Amino acid sequence: MTLLDNDRIAAGRLAHLDALESHAMFVMREVAAERERPVILFSGGKDSVVLLHLAAKAFAPGRVPFTVMHVDTGHNFDEVIEFRDRRVAELGVDLVVASVQDSIDQGRVADPGPGGSRNRLQSVTLLDAIAEHRFDACFGGARRDEDKARAKERIYSVRDEFGQWEPRNQRPELWQLYNGRVRPGEHLRVFPISDWTELDVWEYIAREQLELPSIYFAHEREVVERDGMLLAVNQWVVPGPGETPLVEKVRYRTVGDASCTGAVRSHSTSVPEVIDEICASVLTERGATRADDKFSEAAMEDRKREGYF
Amino acid sequence: MASESVPDHQDHSPGTDHALALADTDLLRFATIGSVDDGKSTLIGRLLHDAKTLLQDQIEAVATTSARRGHEGLDLSLVTDGLRAEREQGITIDVAYRYFATPTRTFIVGDNPGHAQYTRNMATGASTAEVAVVLVDARHGLTTQTRRHVTVAALLGIRQFALCVNKMDLVDWSEERFDSVVADFLAVTDRLGVEAVIPIPMSALHGDNVVDRSTRTPWFSGPALLEYLETVSPAPVGDATGARIPVQLVLREPGDGRPTRLYAGMVHGGPLCPGDPVVVLPSGQTSTVERIVVGDDELVVALPGRSVAITLADDIDVARGDVVANSASAPAVAREIEATVCWFNEDPLGAGARLVVKQGTRVERTVVREVVSHLDIERLDHSEDLDELAFNDIGIVRFATAGPLVVDRYDDDRTLGAFVIIDEKSDRTIGAGMIRAWS
């Protein structure tokens, strides 16, 4: 929803949220036109909430022509699963849940055990689900501002049958002429909101009045401080020796695996307050909240080579 | 006050002046180009650092790696070189996109590779840019690679160049040296028809004239780079031709009775309004725009760059690949096109090659009729003595297509004037074309 003043019309230039929205809609429409079986990856997190909303807009007044898939690590925040199911029902789209626990039970991957992160295991579950459902294009809500490796990835990322990203050999991607062709066994990962920043996402959420899982807003939670991050105490995160659980007022900047996603101390209970908070923050979204990206300088690149988003 | 649609969500809007201002700022896309080692990644790192856009954890990560490699202070090129191979080799292989904002503008920066073998990646980064920031090492002056990049950027339609004469600290801030590099550069851009060049003497490493004006260049009265980027007016986009929508999809409004068909696509070339008379190409049928919608909103005007769905007043056949265009200034329909081609494939391009082009939302088989000429990057002359384009060559090529294309000259319209060339055997994108003429 945008006011356009005469100056902007005279200048012939869109305001930046309109430009970002329009580009994302364009990308989703191209994929819908050129691929047989696209799927939207939906975790219930803010980026995928935006992605689903953009899909609804891109195909309105028709229905979203894609299946929605959640790659479920089994380590979930209850609030997020409740939200996921409600949102999918509102849009009337089909939901596929690809379960990491199933992959573990079938012996496809090894359970890292209590306290271990299942984040890396998602790649196998995702690739199995892509093969099973014959998806040929997967939309992800990844943004280039999240990580240095992500900053290098094209809007259309061609993946081989092992889901691997080959960063040294990406297709040229000129103008908005996206080459959506893939060979048998390959598929596309498509990132319509590549060029959005965390702040853009929140400003868009404000503008479009999008609902989010409640854990994005400040609430009291029992947490433990580990490796400089606040992890929620739950069945996967048990305080160890020397760790004292505290009840803190926190919120989440990103929604992921509950075993490794950190909360931040916050008093922001509304979208405008969150926007103020982000503007003032001295940490990036990932720096503040993701344990698994701290393994090495190339943690994300290495995981993407394995088939991760 | 004209409005695109009626606002009704005030309660939810951001609460601070800062956030509100940002939501309505301009978006400027720029690309850094130039030879390897001329300091492009360092410049972006410095720009982000001095504009206070880098956050604490990013600075700490760069500091840790810099220290491990024995560098003094921060090696700011590490901010953008995001791939393992890039950090190992200290070069940039592929475009990195970075984002920052000042109170007046938000920026998307494409940090492009300098190596000749990655020219395709540089073209990727430059094809969506409105401004080019060219780096030249003050000690070495213009290299073949700089000429190649500036040529590609100019062919891609960039008309605004900031010439950053970098590493001025290594030539004792010599005004003569600066003037000499600027003169060489203007000789190139003049040949390419580029008029807007702002030269800036700089040290990206030390931050001189990047965000703040330097005291070490008292002889220079121009802007620092960030001042330039905040104030440059990109060439007006989209008023060269009149409105066009390459149709992506046909949407159907559910409901009782006969479903309404909506044609989805992005407007470009000029603003589109309900009531505008349009022609559908290549068929040539005419109608009038009835409604323009985005989601639940109806627009009274759609600016270029806006993704919309439209209905037409008449029930005519429109499909993906067609173009709905303002009838007063419609594009042409052609099956023979002549284009400037940047060739990215290891195998050369010659007459008789059978390929696929994607242009607008249309995909057509094509055959190369003739490689007309070939651009000598050093002399910026077209020569006709070669009948093939080799890897990374630029030349003029004539194509025939199996079905009709709806075309504009690239100089008038970047969307219908551009195409990519796809190899049907590998599905890879192996070239890019900019249309000059047709028949």
Q: How far apart are CA A76 and CA A176, in angstroms?
A: 37
Rounded CA-CA distance A181/A178 in Å is 9
B59, B87, B112, B248, best to mutate vs chain A, most A CBs in 10 Å: B248
Tokens of B319: 């499909």
Is residue B139 predicted with pLDDT exceeding 60? Answer: yes
Mutation site, B29, B49, B58, B97, interface A, largest A CB count within 10 A? B97
Instruction: List pLDDT tens digits, range B330-384.
Output: 999 999 999 999 998 999 999 999 999 999 999 999 999 999 998 887 777 888 8
CB-CB: which of B85, B93, B418 is closest to A177? B418
Q: In chain B, positions 13-52, which contact chain A (CB-CB < 8 Å)? A: 13-16, 18-19, 22-27
Q: Are strands B249-253 and B244-246 parallel, antiparallel or unpaired?
A: unpaired
Closest by Cα among A142, A17, A285, A197 to B100 = A197
Residue B44: pLDDT above 60? Answer: yes
Helices (H), B238-314: none
Across residues A201-211, what is the average pLDDT?
A: 94
What percentage of chain A carries pLDDT values higher than 90? 35
Alpha-carbon span A243 to A225, nearest angstrom: 7
- As beta bridge partners, residue B27 has B106
pLDDT of residue B413: 86
What's the complex ipTM? 0.87
Measured between CA atoms, how close is B20 to chain A, in angstroms? Answer: 9
pLDDT at B104: 81
- What is the spatial distance between Cα A117 and Cα A50, in angstroms, rounded to a whole number? 26
Residue of B nearest to A201 (CA): B23
Contacts of B119 (CB under 8 A, 6+ apart): B148, B149, B152, B342, B344, B392
| pLDDT at residue A259, rounded to an integer | 75
In this prediction, residue B115 carries a pLDDT of 67
Rounded distance between C-alpha atoms, residue B176 and residue B171, angstroms: 10
pLDDT band at residue B92 under the 50/70/90 scheme: low
Q: To the nearest whole percent, how much of chain B has pLDDT over 70?
A: 87
> Are the beta carbons of B99 and A195 separated by less than 8 Å?
yes
- Per-residue pLDDT at A241 exceeds 90: no
Mean pLDDT value across residues B40-45: 84
- DSSP E strand stretches across B167-313: 196-201, 244-246, 249-253, 260-266, 277-281, 285-294, 297-298, 307-312
- Please give the pLDDT value at position B70: 77
Whole-number average pLDDT of chain A: 83
Question: Using a CB-CB distance cutoff of 8 angstroms, which residues of chain B are in contact with residue A60?
Answer: 251, 293, 295-296, 309
Describe the crossing of helices B144-155 and B175-192 by its angle, rounded to 10 degrees: 40
Please report the sign of the dihedral spanned by the C-alpha atoms of residue B359, residue B362, residue B366, residue B370: negative
Put simply, whether B93 touches A (Cβ < 8 Å) is yes
The confidence score (pLDDT) of residue A227 equals 76
C-alpha A227/C-alpha A161 separation (Å) is 36
**Burial annotation B7-22 (CB, 10 A radius, 16+ → b, else e):** eeeeebbbeeebbeeb
Range in A133-142, A233-242, A272-281, B415-424 the model is least confident about: A233-242
Question: Kind of pairing, strands B362-376 and B394-407?
Answer: antiparallel
Beta-carbon separation of A6 and B1 below 8 A? yes
Average pLDDT over residues B40-46: 84
Residue window 372-411, chain B: list those with CB within 8 Å of chain A.
none
Q: Which of B56, B99, B296 sits opposite A60 (nearest CB)?
A: B296
pTM score, whole prediction: 0.88
Q: What share of chain B is helix, strand, coil (3-state, %, to 5)?
A: 25, 35, 40
| Of the candidate ranges A72-81, B70-79, B143-152, B164-173, the one whose mean pLDDT is the lowest | B70-79
